[in-house]
Amino acid sequence: MPDLVGLPEVERAAERLAGVAVRTPLVPFPGDGGLLVKPESLQPVGAFKLRGAYNAISRLGRRERERGVVTHSSGNHAQAVAWTARALGIPAVLVMPHTTPAVKVDACIALGAEIVYVDPVARLETAERLAAAHGLALIPPFDDPDVIAGQGTVGLEIVRDRPDADVVLVPVSGGGLIAGVAAAVKALRPEAKVIGVEPELAADARESLRLGHPVTWPAEETGRTIADALRVQRVGDLPFAHMRAHVDGIVTVTEDEIRLAMRRLARDARLIAEPGGATATAAYLFRKKELPPGRTYVAVLSGGNVDPALFQEVLR
């Protein structure tokens, strides 16, 4: 079993991120005293991914920084790497699926990064090839201890703000966010339950935990969900090891439930969520019977980089 990220690594990540990442608040969901929403949409890049990307890139040596960084991402991690690279004066190359929403691509271009478009299944291979050919440092979107430690600062803040949190709901894609959050939450409040949430149409993490090993779903299957940030075909090996050690279960939500949660977050809580970012709230609103009992629930709103046309459609 690989070495897991612990509380000391998460706390050191929090020190690096001080003054960089926003310490997002816990926002009470109107009309329901039991739900708090942690809006990572308030980060400078509109998603939690800044935490892991900055923690990983800031640890590079001088020569690695001079050569530059490369990553593969469907959008939010790419934007986080681009933002961090510009802040630290580092060249950045982003390998992105051609299906990535334009709002995310445009943000990356505005940050000065070089974009390489590929088919979704070719992301990792292309990024590895570019890293080897040009001496670039590969910054993985989730399967990396420094990235996981950075994402874990979300869990650190949750427990420090609400030591009474009973259930923490976390969207699952490649698993970096839930791995870090679960590591921090379980270290500080072992009795709390950490539950992953993913779309029914991209439920590879649930199947992976059930079978005891990471399962790959075809891109044409995960590509069906509206939640573009959660279309990763397989959880990472290191995140999966954290999930097996710390995560108490996975629930899934439907496409309609995701849309309704986006609408409720916007209209009731005045928070903008992209589809993937709304899944944890959707689990509380529509699948509470499947969740562990508790008095205080926290839903991580992982990102708000939603396509404007889609957002208008959802609000209608």
**How confident is the prediction for the chain on average, in pLDDT?**
94
Q: Give 238's DSSP letter.
A: H
Q: How far is CA 146 from CA 151, 162, 237, in A?
A: 9, 25, 14
- Return the CATH fold of 51-138: Rossmann fold (3.40.50)
Of 38, 49, 104, 186, catalytic: 49
Better pLDDT: 272 or 307: 272
45-59, 113-127, 174-188, 284-298: the lowest-pLDDT one = 113-127
Q: Give 114's DSSP letter.
A: E
Better pLDDT: 136 or 121: 136
Q: What is the mean pLDDT of residues 38-56?
A: 97
CATH number of 7-46+145-315: 3.40.50.1100
Instruction: For residue 54, give the amino acid letter.
Output: Y
49 is catalytic: yes
38 is catalytic: no
For residue 1, pLDDT over 80 is answered with no
Q: Which residues pair with 306 in a beta bridge?
A: none
Distance CA 66, CA 89 (A): 9
Q: Structural domain boundaries of the chain?
A: 7-46+145-315, 51-138
Helix/strand/coil for 153: helix
Q: What is the pLDDT of residue 123?
A: 87
For residue 150, pLDDT over 90 is answered with yes
Q: What's the CA angle centered on 142, arms 136 and 146, to 5 degrees?
A: 70
Q: How far is CA 210 from CA 42, 192, 233, in A?
A: 34, 21, 16
Of 41, 73, 208, 302, catalytic: 302
- Euclidean distance between the first and final Cα of the chain, in Å? 48
Is it true that 7-46+145-315 and 51-138 share their CATH fold?
A: yes
Q: What is the pLDDT of residue 21?
A: 97
Distance CA 251, CA 287 (A): 8
For residue 142, pLDDT over 80 is answered with yes
pLDDT in tens, 91-108: 999 999 888 888 888 999
Q: Which tokens is 31 given? A: 């009309």
